[in-house]
Amino acid sequence: MDDMIATALRERAEGDIHVERLLDAVRTGVRRQRRRRFAVGFGAAAAVVALVAAAGVATAPDRRPDGRTAQPAQSGRVPLPRPPAVAGAPTAADRPEVLGSGSGLFHLDIRGTPIGWRNASWASTRGFEELRFEAAETGGDVRVLAARDPIWLGELGPGAASAAVDGLPAETVEQGGTHVVRWQPRAGIWAQVWATGEPDSAIAVAGKRIETPGSTSKLTAIALQNEKSRNVTAI
Amino acid sequence: MTFEDYVRVRGPALVRVARLIAGDRHLGEDLAQEVLIRAYPRWNRIVAGGRPDVYLRRMLVNAHVSWRRKRSSTEVVDGAGRVERADAADVGDLGAEAAERAAVWRLIRRLPPKQRVTIVLRYYEDLDDAAIAEILGCSPGTVRTHAMRALTTLRQHVATAEESLRWTT
């Protein structure tokens, strides 16, 4: 019986396998997968971050000891509380030099995501800004970074692959279960998104330009990060 | 080892196992391809784990189970009525032993997924229960249970088929 089973299986399994053809098919599939994740036209965006002129503060925000502005926890799809907008302040899309200018203004925002967010915090330091929040449904954290110099974003490390965000060239890499995507939304600004979690529950992230009356296109970025270091690709 | 090197060296073995797990040559090739596409972005991490063969076979099993859930399964074992009976023409065309092996294969295809995977990994890949358990994500004891049930099913039907063969001839 055992021999019969082994022989029956061998007969069914054997046969020519064209390895180069298999490799080509895999490469094509990988490229197709990347295009699906990043192409804006396919509606893959789940969250959009706009570099906006909002996030100025008329009154002093609650600040955490680390200098971050704390936001109240919320769950589900409740709009994320944001620092109040400052009318007339230039956007980073208009003037990259305002990003991380230390003026007490924040220039990162998130819009249009279908996932619930909570516990967001903004941070700004010279030439660099960061927005962090927690994905309400998965408990993972999300991290969006924007900088005037890519040195603030750290090394991508080996194995970076090319991709596209909003039609712009980007790079993506996996680092110990954290997935990172980096691109340059406009001259003078670099954006980066971190995400960790289960690959199958990855949150697609894409960039989308937001046109508002009277302003130039705003820079957009999407970031997801899971501080629990579970694998999640989201970018 | 780079991803490409792995596919060139170990890709064929993965495709063959996939053919058996899927129960169909073309489905198996599609399954192996899908697994490799999913593995590519995680390749550094997979290799860092030290055992890409195990990891990819686990992905293969999970992907196959997922596929089966998405499509309605027609692989139903409904007892003696589905036993493949070799009639005289089959026996004449294939030879008795080949016909038996064909019948065994059809029976293996009809096993529940985890029983089939256990049989494939044990008899084709020659893995022990501990290795199979790691791929299936269960205990070695559960693997032995899967094997016992699969072999019981196969023995019952093969015995019946043998009788039928002998009977028809």
- Written as one string, the DSSP assignment of B33-52 is HHHHHHHGGGHHHHHHTT-H
Mutate to test the interface with B, among A1, A2, A4, A36 (most CBs of B within 10 A): A4
Alpha-helical runs (H) found in chain A: 2-13, 19-38
- A74 Cβ under 8 Å from any chain B Cβ: no
At residue A190, φ and ψ (nearest 5 deg) are: -115, 140
Contact A158, A140 (CB under 8 A): no
Inter-chain residue contact A19 with B8, CB threshold 8 Å: yes
Q: How many separate helices (H) and strands (E) can be counted in chain B?
A: 9, 0
A100 pLDDT tier (thresholds 50, 70, 90):
confident
- For B5, which residue in chain A has the nearest alpha carbon? A23
* Sequence letter at residue A105: L
Average pLDDT over residues A47-72: 39
Assigned token pair, A6:
């082994």
Residue B139, min C-alpha distance to chain A (Å): 23
B96-139 per-position pLDDT tens digit: 677 778 888 988 999 999 999 999 999 999 999 999 999 999 99
Rg (CA), chain A: 21
Q: Does B95 touch chain A (CB under 8 A)?
A: no
Cβ neighbours, 10 Å, residue A58: 9
> How sure is the predictor about A79, in pLDDT bands with cuts at 50, 70 and 90?
low
CA distance B140 to B81: 33
Give per-residue pLDDT as tens, A150-193: 767 766 666 777 777 767 787 877 655 566 778 887 888 888 87
- In terms of Cα–Cα distance, which of A154, A160, A191 is closest to A173? A160
B5 near A CB under 8 A:
no
Q: Are strands A189-196 and A178-186 parallel, antiparallel or unpaired?
A: antiparallel
Cβ atoms of residues A146 and A186 within 8 Å: no
pLDDT, residue A103, reads: 57
Between A105-109, A129-133, A224-228, the lowest mean confidence (pLDDT) is in A224-228
- Residue B50 has a pLDDT of 87
Structure-block tokens of residue A178: 């954290």
In angstroms, the separation between the Cα of residue B72 and the nearest Cα of chain A is 22
- The verdict on a CB contact (< 8 Å) between A30 and B41 is yes
Of the ranges A143-152, A154-163, B155-164, the best mean pLDDT one: A143-152
pLDDT at B25 over 70: yes
pTM: 0.48
For tokens 């999640």, the residue is A232
Contact A8, A135 (CB under 8 A): no
Nearest to A9 among B43, B45, B123 (CB): B123
Angle made by CA atoms B11, A195, A211, in degrees to the nearest 5: 115
Q: What is the pLDDT of residue A178?
A: 62
Neighbours of A174 (CB within 10 A): 22
Nearest Cα of chain B lies from the Cα of A220 at a distance, in angstroms, of: 25
How many Cβ pairs closer than 8 A exist between chain A and B?
94
Distance from C-alpha of A219 to C-alpha of A215, rounded to nearest angstrom: 11
- For chain B, say whether A199 makes contact (Cβ under 8 Å): yes
